[in-house]
């Protein structure tokens, strides 16, 4: 549904869709519900060949993007993943790669960026804390100074694919101020506690840190100076999440429109009743707006335009609220079949609900915009 794509972008989108349809149809995704890892390593590696995790990585380290705006390209892939309910840590890995590519020391970059782009290593961002807003200002996990660097004691939660990740990008409050550290997930003192998730295609965990020792060279950027980087990571995550949600919503609405054309009752296709078709028309309208705000935010955040922070919140607030409402109504428009486990619609609905609240729900985004305006 993106418009004005270049040939290269069209190719990326088409190839991504084909690979997902061939290797990871929804029937395969369903098989992974009970799998503790939750995604398929072979498909993950195949995605690396298509550049899914290298868009934010410089070319000389094995990455590159097709349009010059890595976030726009990553959104094309995220949207296709949403359409296919694709599980796995692509979003999280891309956020970590972007953070590292922007602020990591040459040593960190050389050691990890190529491996992230090639899919050999998986990264995730440990940011959220229980019952705290999703903002840099709300950080409370302390990084205490030691002779060799820092020590972490405390916890993070809603960490995507923490169980599968090789690298954790941890945001914490050092004495100098907000700071970020890139540490191996298997560092001594780290325990990953998987959570039960509403979205059956997403693994989330609480991560506990007990006296985890962090060497000074694991600091990403300058200690105390990470507030802007954290804000940027949030923007990237929000936009990628929107693209995924939009893909899932578009697919759910397609299923519903097709059903309404084929399902005959009271002597005619149910989609001919205005009482039903007007609702689908409204969903189509809001969906168009979701595509528009997500594309706008991708261009603004990817291009680091002055309205990037606002654009990401506009997209999230709109996409989250409308997608959940649309998919709820898609179930309602289906009637009985829509409520069943076997019919895929609830999987899309689950993803939309989960994405609505992760990284902050619409009300939180609305309030954040007023905070931004007051700070300006």
Partner 1 sequence: MSANGSAASSDAIPVADFRAAVREWLPEHLPRSAPGEPLLQWDDEGVSRDRALQRLLWESGLAGITVPREYGGRGLTEAHQQALREEAAGYRMPEAFGIGFNVVLPTLLAHGSEDLKRRLVPRMLRGDDIWCQLLSEPSSGSDLAGLLTRAERDGDGWRLNGSKIWTTGGNYSQYAVCLARTDPHVPKHAGLTMFVVPMDAPGVTVSPVQLSDGTVDFCQEHLDDVRVPADAVLGEVDDGWRVATTMMTNERRAIGRGWSMAARPGEHEQRGIELTPTLLDLARETGRDQDSAVRELIGEQWVLRAVHAQTTKRVVAAMASGALPGHGAALIKALAAMVEVRNGEIDLAVAGPRAAAWPPGSAERWGHHRLSSHDIGGGTTEMQRNAIAERLLGLPREPATDRELPFDQLRQNTVPREEQA
Residues of this chain that bind partner 1 (CB under 8 A): 3-4, 257, 260-261, 268-269, 271-274, 277-278, 280-282, 284-286, 288-289, 291-293, 295-296, 300, 305-307, 310-311, 313-314, 317-318, 362-363, 365-370, 372-374, 376
The least distance separating partner 1 from the CB of residue 106, rounded to whole angstroms, comes to 34
Return the number of the residue (177 or 269) whose C-beta is nearest partner 1.
269
CB nearer to partner 1: give 211 or 288: 288
What's the closest the beta carbon of residue 367 comes to partner 1, in angstroms?
A: 5
Nearer to partner 1, 19 or 333 (CB): 333
Q: How far is the CB of 116 from partner 1 (least distance, A)?
A: 31
Sign of CA dihedral 76, 79, 80, 86: positive
| Cβ at position 148, least distance to partner 1 in Å | 43
CA 190 – CA 181 distance, rounded (Å): 14
Which residue's CB is nearer to partner 1, number 31 or number 307? Answer: 307
Residue whose CB is less far from partner 1, 124 or 323: 323
CB of 283 to partner 1, least distance (A): 9
Nearer to partner 1 by C-beta: 17 or 142?
Answer: 17
Nearer to partner 1, 36 or 375 (CB): 375
Q: What distance in Å separates the CA atoms of residue 331 and residue 337, rounded to the nearest whole number?
A: 8
Could you tell me the smallest distance in angstroms from the CB atom of residue 3 to partner 1? 5
Smallest distance from partner 1 to CB 310, Å: 5
The full 3-state SS of the chain, as one line of letters, equals CCCCCCHHHHHHHHHHHHHHHHHCCHHHHHHCCCCCCCCCHHHHHHHHHCCCCCCCCCHHHCCCCCCCCHHHHHHHHHHHHHHCCCCCCHHHHHHHHHHHHHHCCHHHHHHHHHHHHCCCCCEEEECCCCCCCCCHHHCCCEEEECCCEEEEEEEEEEEECCCCCCEEEEEEEECCEEEEEEEECCCCCEEEEECCCCCCCCCEEEEEEEEEEEEHHHECCCCCCCHHHHHHHHHHHHHHHHHHHHHHHHHHHHHHHHHHHHCEECCEEHHHCHHHHHHHHHHHHHHHHHHHHHHHHHHHHHCCCCCHHHHHHHHHHHHHHHHHHHHHHHHHHHHHHHHCCCCCHHHHHHHHHHHHHCCCCHHHHHHHHHHHHHHC
Q: Name the residue nearer to partner 1 (CB basis): 122 or 246.
A: 246
Residue count (the chain):
376
* Shortest separation between residue 242's beta carbon and partner 1, angstroms: 12
């Amino acid at each position: 549904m993106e418009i004005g794509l270049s040939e290269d972008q069209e190719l990326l989108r088409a190839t991504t869709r084909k690979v997902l349809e061939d290797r990871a149809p929804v029937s395969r995704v369903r098989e992974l519900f009970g799998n503790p890892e939750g995604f398929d390593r072979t498909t993950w590696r195949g995605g690396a060949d298509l550049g899914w995790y290298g868009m934010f990585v410089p070319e000389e380290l094995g990455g590159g993007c097709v349009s010059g705006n890595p976030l726009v390209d990553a959104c094309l892939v995220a949207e296709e993943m949403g359409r296919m309910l694709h599980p796995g840590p692509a979003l999280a890995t891309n956020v970590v790669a972007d953070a590292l590519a922007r602020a990591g020391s040459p040593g960190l970059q050389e050691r990890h960026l190529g491996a992230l782009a090639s899919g050999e290593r998986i990264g995730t961002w440990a940011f959220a804390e229980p019952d705290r807003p999703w903002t840099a200002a709300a950080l409370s996990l302390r990084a205490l100074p030691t002779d060799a660097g820092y020590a972490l004691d405390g916890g993070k939660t809603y960490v995507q694919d923490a169980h599968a990740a090789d690298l954790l990008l941890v945001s914490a409050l050092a004495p100098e101020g907000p700071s970020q550290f890139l540490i191996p997930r298997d560092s001594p003192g780290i325990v990953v506690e998987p959570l039960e998730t509403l979205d059956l295609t997403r693994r989330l965990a609480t991560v506990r840190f007990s006296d985890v020792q962090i060497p000074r060279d694991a600091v990403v950027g300058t200690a105390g100076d990470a507030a802007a980087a954290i804000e940027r990571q949030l923007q990237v995550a929000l936009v990628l999440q929107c693209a995924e949600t939009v893909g899932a919503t578009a697919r759910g609405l397609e299923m519903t429109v097709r059903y309404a054309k084929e399902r005959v009752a009271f002597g005619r296709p149910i989609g001919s009743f205005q009482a039903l078709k007007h609702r689908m028309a409204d969903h189509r309208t809001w969906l168009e707006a979701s595509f528009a705000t997500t594309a706008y935010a991708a261009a603004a955040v990817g291009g680091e335009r002055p309205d990037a922070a606002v654009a990401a919140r506009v997209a999230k607030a709109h996409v989250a609220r409308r997608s959940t409402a649309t998919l709820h109504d898609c179930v309602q428009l289906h009637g009985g079949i829509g409520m069943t486990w076997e019919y895929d619609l609830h999987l899309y609905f689950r993803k939309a609900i989960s994405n609505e609240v992760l990284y902050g729900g619409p009300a939180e985004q609305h309030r954040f915009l007023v905070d931004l305006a007051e700070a300006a």
